[in-house]
Amino acid sequence: MSTPGYATERETTEGKVFNVTGGDWDTVVEGVDPLSDERIVVNLGPQHPSTHGVLRLVLELEGETVTEVRPIVGYLHTGIEKNLEYRNWVQGTTFVTRMDYLAPIFNETAYSLAVEKLLGIEEQITERANTIRVLMMELNRISSHMVWFATTGMELGAISLMLYGFREREYVLDIFELCSGLRMNMAYVRPGGVAQDVPDEAIKKIDELLDYLPKRLAEYEAMLSDNVIWKGRTQNVGVLDVTGCLAMGVTGPVLRSAGLAWDLRKTMPYCGYETYDFNVPTATSADVWGRYQVRLAETRESMKIIRQAVDRLRPGPIMVADKKIAWPAQLAIGVDGMGNSLEHVAKIMGQSMESLIHHFKLVTEGFRVPPGQVYVPIEGPRGELGAHAVSDGGTRPYRVHFREPSFVNLQAIPAMSEGALLADVIAGGASLDPVMGGCDR
């Protein structure tokens, strides 16, 4: 017997099976007369490899043609935004990094920039810290795009690209591990600067990546750009023009594939992006093919920015000088990841009692942030990632809410898919590059 409010269940030879609930599935199915109506209702997801996570699509079909699409989100509740209200401002970094798990550095940077704006210390962020932030964001943009090439290739039948894309991503994750001790969810960018300096071995690895990656991108193009099957699955598929993008708030490569060169690194610069030489790639086809071309070009532009950032790295502090804000730990990477260096612990314990108390209070309680609210947008791999932070003057956020591009862009699936073929729903949805960790946060 089922309990009200819960999914119905039944026992099978494989164990207990639950029915998927939510959305208006029951209403849709009840409206179909199987004897006189040729409509078919298909439930795609929420557990399906082509939905990029726990995304559910309820599709109405007439033959192979899609007549209506209902995207249903909410299956990956992490409670990250609510959890931020119960942690101090620095601890919040360890939560936001887990939202869009393919772009952790961007989550951390948007959040840290918002906290710094509330504190009024934007001008105090050191040149080296800003350069490292740009360097890490562009490396992260490349790793995110590599996952897009890999997963989209797999979904459209180019299985080799799945292997190659993740192979290239490993190079970037190795660099992240050298810098932070972790490959993902690093909590590396923090209010006031960054947690750890970039070591020399990481710079060497970055130089290797910049020599290695152009050859691999050329291989991607050789495999795909003249491939008649790839063209057939991407050209004139998932079309969404500029008007549609602007009406639904769609940003990032999808907007730029429609011809509008809107990139926050150029239009609303942050972290010193206005001082870097790079272009904003665009296309005019407004389809899956155009988004493929834009992401290829963006990867090459990111390499240009990384080279400039490496050349700009000058010795200097990586955290603000204000000891009432600066994270007091001197971190070091050990065999079990990143943590306090033993030398720094000994130094703290050997200083005055006041110094030890200050260290304890700053770590456990955190610094106070003046009352106010800010919104800080940055250009993530999927589009505009904005952090709206509200402070009531305490040591913890009153409210933090993110404008997440995956969530906003997903509403374009019906516009791109209705009237097209069922197979094109997969291609169009993949071209949005949604990450459900960012959508359900």
Which pLDDT value is given to residue 289? 92
* pLDDT over threshold 60, residue 279: yes
* pLDDT over threshold 60, residue 255: yes
* pLDDT over threshold 70, residue 330: no
| pLDDT (mean) for 70-87 | 88
Cα–Cα distance between 192 and 121 in angstroms, integer? 8
Q: Is 318 helix (H, G, I), strand (E, B) or coil?
A: coil
Residue with the larger pLDDT of the pair 28 and 131 = 131
Which pLDDT value is given to residue 5? 53
Q: And the tokens for 198?
A: 């970039």
Which pLDDT value is given to residue 53? 77
Cα–Cα distance between 389 and 399 in angstroms, integer? 6
Lowest mean pLDDT, pick from 5-9, 71-75, 220-224: 5-9
- CA 331 → CA 111, 144, 263, 339, 345, distances in Å? 21, 27, 34, 5, 10
* pLDDT over threshold 90, residue 117: yes
Q: And the tokens for 437?
A: 């960790």
Which pLDDT value is given to residue 195? 87
Which pLDDT value is given to residue 196? 86
* pLDDT over threshold 70, residue 365: yes
| pLDDT (mean) for 200-207 | 92
| pLDDT (mean) for 286-315 | 92
Q: Evaluate whether 256 touches 282 at the Cβ level (below 8 Å).
A: yes
Confidence band for 277, pLDDT divided at 50, 70 and 90: very high
Which pLDDT value is given to residue 23? 64
Judge residue 179's burial from the number of C-beta atoms within 10 Å of its C-beta, 0-12 exposed, 13-18 middle, 19 or more buried.
buried
Q: Which domains are present in the chain?
A: 80-321+367-439 (1.10.645.10), 331-364 (no CATH)
Lowest mean pLDDT, pick from 313-327, 335-349, 397-411: 335-349
**3-state DSSP of 28-77:** HHHCCCCCCCCEEEEEECCCCHHHCCCCEEEEEEECCEEEEEEEECCCCC
Which pLDDT value is given to residue 423? 86
Distance of CA 277 to the CA centre of its chain: 24
Number of residues assigned to the chain: 441
Cα–Cα distance between 260 and 242 in angstroms, integer? 7
Q: Which of 319, 347, 342, 346 is nearest to 332 (CA)?
A: 342
Confidence band for 155, pLDDT divided at 50, 70 and 90: confident
Judge residue 64's burial from the number of C-beta atoms within 10 Å of its C-beta, 0-12 exposed, 13-18 middle, 19 or more buried.
exposed
Which pLDDT value is given to residue 257? 92
Q: Which of 225, 215, 218, 230 is nearest to 158 (CA)?
A: 230
| pLDDT (mean) for 78-97 | 91
Lowest mean pLDDT, pick from 21-30, 276-285, 349-358: 21-30
Neighbours of 115 (CB within 10 A): 26
Angle at 80 between CA 384 and CA 412, to 5 degrees: 40
Cα–Cα distance between 431 and 437 in angstroms, integer? 17
Average pLDDT, the chain: 86
Q: And the tokens for 416?
A: 């791109």
* pLDDT over threshold 80, residue 341: no
Q: And the tokens for 366?
A: 């955190």
Confidence band for 142, pLDDT divided at 50, 70 and 90: very high
* pLDDT over threshold 90, residue 293: yes
Q: In the block, which residue shows the tokens 């078919």? A: 40
Percent of the chain with pLDDT over 70: 88
The dihedral through the CA atoms of 29, 30, 31, 33 has a sign that is positive
* pLDDT over threshold 90, residue 59: no
Confidence band for 303, pLDDT divided at 50, 70 and 90: very high
* pLDDT over threshold 80, residue 332: no
Which pLDDT value is given to residue 336? 62
Q: Is 277 helix (H, G, I), strand (E, B) or coil?
A: coil
Q: In the block, which residue shows the tokens 């409670």? A: 79
* pLDDT over threshold 60, residue 1: no
Confidence band for 21, pLDDT divided at 50, 70 and 90: low
